[in-house]
Structure 1
Amino acid sequence: MAPRYNRIAVIGAGPSGLAAVRALAAENAFSTLRVFDRRDHVGGLWHYDPEPDVFPGTTDVPQRVVSPPSTLPGFAPPAGKDPRARSALYWELDSNVGAETMAFSYAPFPKGSSASSLARLGANNPSRTYNVVAGYLEDLFTPYLPLVSLGTTVERVEKAPGTKEWTLTLRKEGEQYRGTQHDYWWTETFDAVVVASGHYHVPLIPSITGLIDTAHALPGRFEHSKSYRKPEKYTGKRVLVVGGSISAVDFIQDLHDIVQGKLEVAIRGRNPALEAAYNLPNVRQHPTVASFARGPNDKVVATFSDGSVVDNLDSVLFATGYRLQYPFLQPNPTTPQNYVSGFYQHVFNVNDPSLTLVGQVKAALSFRIYEYQAVAVARYYAGRNARALPSVLEQRRWEADTLKLKGASSNFHEIAPDLGAYYNWLADFAGKPAKGTDAYELPQWQEAWGEHGFSILDLKAKYWQSVIDKHNAGVRAKL
């Protein structure tokens, strides 16, 4: 049976891109498979960049302006590296999902925990360093490297009205033209497109009175978690952490005992699983920040929503998440509320399922969930899916119901606590593989996956509580 679509493009060579190209190749059904990534290596953001992003100094999303040549294909002056492509990894980042569950079902992770995780979480803990994760992805990508075009930015993805083809406008850096390096621009056409470009590129900076002016007046005092690298930078400084989720508690853990005075923390939404981190010694909690201003001696003044003030800050570190961005898609499906609209089950474009997303979910146990999404997409593109997509009306009703349940924010893409239902929907939709292919049947959800996947948070909570207990015992001993 002929595939539903024959020529497939995959945008992104990170873990979700790997999941996509492997699942598509396994179907042995397509005449063309191409993968494009703007970085110079596979593995996506699991590679450490020593030089971080700079704070944008504005709440607006920074957009680069690149100018294509007047005709395509053709050469244009170099646009330069996009700083938003830099990794968000910090020096001792370990995975927050247990390795056994985080791994693709067909390939377990090798061993490898950081020294800090061994000290804090114990021997044989299920975390993995970013180096281990990056090597894992590179090894698994090896058979598909002939399909990958690195250093290639997808500038535009569009389908002209009345046509069946997607046109990708592409730009490759560092091509020699008349003795100097230029960007080479061209187009390629495909029947279907898988967007697997990730969503940890553009920092989400909250809109706070005085932030822009203060950041401009005091350059270097404000940072986003994407710029965080090593805790030593903050030793002996007065620091405010803004945020209360995973990155924020990593910073609290790193900084609470090395800063000058109290580590100030502004928390909007509290996660009960992280409560012990908020209560670590030397941490002073605040509600949301109402305003920033430049204070005496070029210090940052923060005023909080309860009227309290901290007026001598050296550094403000935002751990406030990321803005979802797919600027190359025409039309762009991202919303002002920071969720992606129009994709059924966060995967299939409602109006045109030849456009799909892989990886646009949260709290879903990556990388395993990318594998499930990718197999569902590959089976659908090959015309071998076991179940049909529901009607467009039903798909739109699913989005409306999910918005009511999760809210109009990036939390719209949160899968937990309904992991079993989501995994099993993808497995049932994909169904069994065709004979004579390398495809396979996705296993049904197992409750043990969730328990293992989230076990690192349990270990962290126990460590934080042990630090609190030790501190309290020392205080009591001095009384």
Structure 2
Amino acid sequence: MPPRYENVAVIGAGPSGISAVKALQEEKVFRRVRLFERRDRAGGIWHLDSVPDVFPTPGSGTLRLFQIPSKLPSLAPPAPEDLTARTAIYDSLDSNVGAKAMAFSHTPFPIKNSAQSTRYLGRSNPTRPFRVVAKYLDDLFKNYLHLSSFNTTVVRVEKKAGKWNLVLRQTGHFVDDQPQDYWWEEQFDAVIVASGHYSVPFVPEIAGLKDAFVKFPTNFEHSKEFRNPDHYVNKKVVVVGGNVSSADLVADLHAIVKGPLELSQRGHNEALDSAWNLPNVKLRPTVSRVEADPLGVSVHFSDGTVTDKVDKILFATGYKLSYPFITPDPVTPNNRVSGFYQHIFKIGDPSLALVGQVRAGISFRVYEYQAVAVARYFAGRNKKSLPSPREQDQWEVDRLQYKGNSPIFHEIQPDFKEYFDFLTELAGPPAPESDGYLLAPWEDKWAEQAFEILQLKDKYWKSLHQKNEKKTDGIAAKL
């Protein structure tokens, strides 16, 4: 029996793209599988770029818009670098999801810890240094290099005459010793978009921010730019944000900055309260405006208070969803993806699928399950049918009522079992003639394993608070 779609493109070679190409190949039924990756290697966000992305001032347009040549294929002068391709990795970064649950079910992570995580979280802790994660992904991808086109940006994905038409741009070509970009098109029956959602940093609209950045550009950073805590020693720092990345920055910086570390939050994750209560941290409300004067940058808060002469304002405010190559663009002004059933299948045309467009879903494991479910659907081997487009539309309406019209729409937590059950039921058992495997049913212990790191960090942060209290009590007793 032929597959539902014979020719499939995969966009992105990060963890979700690796999952997708592996699952497609294991079906052993597709006539052509191609993977396109804009960087020169697989691994996605798990590689270190020593020079970070630039600060995305509101309205500055961080997305790179390409001028497509009028005739394809063709060579053209190279376009400027797409800076959003640079990663947020810094040298001392360890994973923040427990290794047993984070790993693909078919391949465990090597048992290896960094000196820093061992010092703070104990021996044999569930973190993994980013270089261990990067090598893990590289090793898994070796069997699929022949399917891949690196240094290749997918500029446009558009349905034409029943086929998905991809406009592609590849760097690294030379004519008469001059660099050139090669542009061409390819057509596919189906497309899996696995390009992730940690590329385009989000910075909220704040009065005066743009003008202040022009005058003092080095005073403003997004957490994507963070590379080394040494850059913040004896600096007056304001951190903006209330989730995991903000907590990690606070833990790294609270003891080394000048004066208290000012922490501005609109809302915060209560599970991270021990980080917000670390010594030398001063909680602040939202930032109402930023001003620049001859003495430097002043940050005004919504309660009327002001912090002046700020050296660094560090925004740990997350990322914008970005699929500018999909025509029409499915990202809404509220920063969610519209029109994709179960965050995967395009409603009304399931030949376009997203893998990796979920939040709080236990990282690599959920990408693997999504990929297997999509591959078996594309192969025509899915056990469970997709509901009608009308029912899929109703699913989106119901989810908007449940999660709201924001990026939280894509958050799986706390409904792990329901989501993993949907994926395993859709995928069903592997075909005898394939190299596929049966997806294991959800186990509650996976969630416990995933959050082990947070529990260990919470213990460590509380110990710092207790040491500070003892020190303070000792000084008071001497006085």
Unaligned runs of 5+ in 2: none
Q: Are 2:293 and 1:284 equivalent residues in the alignment?
A: no
After TM superposition, list the pairs within 5 Å mapping 1:261-340 onto structure 2: 261-297=259-295, 299-340=296-337
Map Cα deviations across residues 58-78 of structure 1 (whole Å, 9 max, x no partner). 345423233333310000000
Q: 2:214 is matched with which residue?
A: 216
Q: 1:128 is matched with which residue?
A: 128
Q: Determine the C-alpha separation between the residues in 2 that align with 1:189 and 1:317.
A: 43
Q: 1:96 is matched with which residue?
A: 96
Q: 2:376 is matched with which residue?
A: 379
Compute the displacement of 1:269 (Å). 1.6
**2:361, 2:413 within 8 Å by CA — same for their partners in 1?**
yes
Q: Aligned to 1:464, what secondary structure does the other structure show?
A: helix
Paired letter, 2:156: R
Q: 1:17 is matched with which residue?
A: 17
Q: 2:407 is matched with which residue?
A: 410
Q: Determine the C-alpha separation between the residues in 2 that align with 1:94 and 1:61.
A: 31
How many pairs were matched up?
476
Map Cα deviations across residues 330-357 of structure 1 (whole Å, 9 max, x no partner). 0000000000001000000002100000
Of 184, 194, 198, 1:186 maps to 184
Q: Aligned to 2:363, what secondary structure does the other structure show?
A: coil
Q: 1:83 is matched with which residue?
A: 83
**2:298, 2:306 within 8 Å by CA — same for their partners in 1?**
yes
Q: Aligned to 1:359, what secondary structure does the other structure show?
A: coil
**2:58, 2:204 within 8 Å by CA — same for their partners in 1?**
no
Q: Are 2:340 and 1:351 equivalent residues in the alignment?
A: no
Map Cα deviations across residues 388-441 of structure 1 (whole Å, 9 max, x no partner). 101111111111111111111111110000001101110011101101210111
Q: Determine the C-alpha separation between the residues in 1 that align with 2:382 and 2:85.
A: 35
Q: 1:361 is matched with which residue?
A: 358
Unaligned runs of 5+ in 1: none
Q: 1:448 is matched with which residue?
A: 445
Q: Are 2:148 and 1:153 equivalent residues in the alignment?
A: no
Q: Are 2:396 and 1:393 equivalent residues in the alignment?
A: no
Map Cα deviations across residues 35-78 of structure 1 (whole Å, 9 max, x no partner). 00000011111000000011123345423233333310000000
Of 226, 229, 232, 1:228 maps to 226
Q: 1:251 is matched with which residue?
A: 249
**1:67, 1:76 within 8 Å by CA — same for their partners in 2?**
no
**1:57, 1:216 within 8 Å by CA — same for their partners in 2?**
no
Q: Determine the C-alpha separation between the residues in 1 that align with 2:232 and 2:162.
A: 54
Q: Are 2:185 and 1:173 equivalent residues in the alignment?
A: no
**2:167, 2:184 within 8 Å by CA — same for their partners in 1?**
yes
Compute the displacement of 1:93 (Å). 1.2
Q: Aligned to 2:472, what secondary structure does the other structure show?
A: helix
Q: Determine the C-alpha separation between the residues in 1 that align with 2:306 and 2:46.
A: 38
Q: Determine the C-alpha separation between the residues in 2 that align with 1:236 and 1:67.
A: 45
Q: 1:72 is matched with which residue?
A: 72
Q: Aligned to 2:48, what secondary structure does the other structure show?
A: coil
Q: Determine the C-alpha separation between the residues in 1 that align with 2:243 and 2:266.
A: 10
Q: Aligned to 1:423, what secondary structure does the other structure show?
A: helix
Q: Aligned to 1:75, what secondary structure does the other structure show?
A: strand
**2:14, 2:45 within 8 Å by CA — same for their partners in 1?**
yes
Q: Aligned to 2:422, what secondary structure does the other structure show?
A: helix
How many percent of aligned residue pairs carry the same amino acid? 54
Paired letter, 2:388: S
* Bigger Cα displacement from structure 2, 126-135 vs 63-72: 63-72
**1:55, 1:223 within 8 Å by CA — same for their partners in 2?**
yes
Q: Aligned to 1:117, what secondary structure does the other structure show?
A: helix
Taking structure 2 as the reference length, what is the TM-score of the superposition? Answer: 0.98
Q: Determine the C-alpha separation between the residues in 1 that align with 2:66 and 2:24.
A: 32
Name segments (4+ residues, structure 1) moved above 4 Å: none
Compute the displacement of 1:22 (Å). 0.3
Q: Determine the C-alpha separation between the residues in 2 that align with 1:372 and 1:109.
A: 17
Q: Determine the C-alpha separation between the residues in 2 that align with 1:37 and 1:368.
A: 21
Q: Determine the C-alpha separation between the residues in 2 that align with 1:459 and 1:150.
A: 39
Q: Determine the C-alpha separation between the residues in 1 that align with 2:62 and 2:249.
A: 25
